[in-house]
Structure 1
């Protein structure tokens, strides 16, 4: 806990002072340009890898950066609520779905279900991406664990992009050209980000 307290005091003395005017400007209203849908993994830090200031990104994070398909429901739906608020209330013009290397949630998609018996809620959550394994199996060119890991993380991003377009208001704004949707694959050990190119159907290094 002391580490967190010390971090806060450093924030107040350095970062807050440097951005004091920004915090005053945004204290009553936010106007983010991007909804960032990322994994909860502690190694993925959206504002750091995009070099954005407070107020620029509206962020939701969950295991394996999953987007549940749109549905009418009386359940408590966190990610769905964030998407709804970002698009209909904040009117963001960009949505980024960011997967990453060495993703534990994606790795679990290739495990037998019983391996997750001790994590029942995680197992249920990952059912949203159950089609990923079959798609990866069809794309595999060999039996390399590295290829399977890479493909699983990228195909999972594509599945979430597809799910995002099941939201009527997202699909409408996308068709109208008012909303951009990007799929990213962030490589932790190199800092590289690969962006999905619709034209080539490939993840290409941002450079």
Structure 2
């Protein structure tokens, strides 16, 4: 904790002072342009990999960057309520579903069910993406664990992108061209990001020259 306390002091003295006017502007209002749905993994830092400032991203993080399909419910639904607020109250223009390499949640989708006995809530949560394993099995070209890992992470992203369109208010805005949905696969050890190209039906390495 000493490291965190020192970090707080450093932030106040350096970063906060440097951007004091920005924080003053954000004090009573936020207008994020993008809803970023990412994994809770400590190695994934949305503002760092997108080089964005406070106020730009509305961030939802959970195990394996999962989006449960829309449903009317009286339960307490964290991810669903966050999506609802970002789209209906904040009117974000973009939604990014960002998966990543070496994702423990995605690896668990391929593991024996009994291996998750000690984390029953995680096991239940991953059931949202239970179709991923079967889809990956059909796409495998060999028996490489590296191929299975990448395919699992990428297919999982596609499942969540599809699930977003089960939200009526997202589907309406998407069809009217008022909101865009992106799927990213972030590679931790290289810093590369692969963006899903819908017309080519594949993840392609992000090329700055394409902007």
Q: TM-score, normalized by length of structure 1?
A: 1.00
SS at match of 1:111: coil
Any runs of at least 4 consecutive aligned residues in structure 1 with deviations exceeding 6 A, and if so which? none
Q: Distance in 2 between matches of 1:105 and 1:32?
A: 28
Residue 170 of structure 1, CA deviation: 0.3
How many residues get paired?
A: 207
Match of 1:198 in 2: 198
TM superposition shift of 1:152: 0.2
1:112 deviates by 1.1
1:59-78 equivalences in 2 (<5 Å): 59-78=59-78
Is 1:167 the counterpart of 2:177? The answer is: no
- Is 1:46 aligned with 2:60? no
Distance in 1, matches of 2:162 and 2:42, equals 26
Task: Indicate whether 1:131 and 2:134 are aligned.
Answer: no
Shift of 1:97: 0.2
Show the 5 A alignment for 1:103-142.
103-142=103-142
Q: Distance in 2 between matches of 1:112 and 1:164?
A: 28
Q: Distance in 2 between matches of 1:28 and 1:68?
A: 31
Task: Give the aligned partner of residue 82 of structure 2.
Answer: 82
Alpha-carbon shift at residue 63 of structure 1 (Å): 0.1
How far residue 176 of structure 1 moved from its aligned partner, in angstroms, is 0.2
Aligned to 2:100: 100
Distance 2:97 2:90 in 1: 18
Match of 1:24 in 2: 24
| Residue in 2 that maps onto 1:6 | 6
State the alpha-carbon separation in 1 of the partners of residues 69 and 188 from structure 2: 28
Measure, in 2, the Cα distance between the counterparts of 1:19 and 1:137: 49
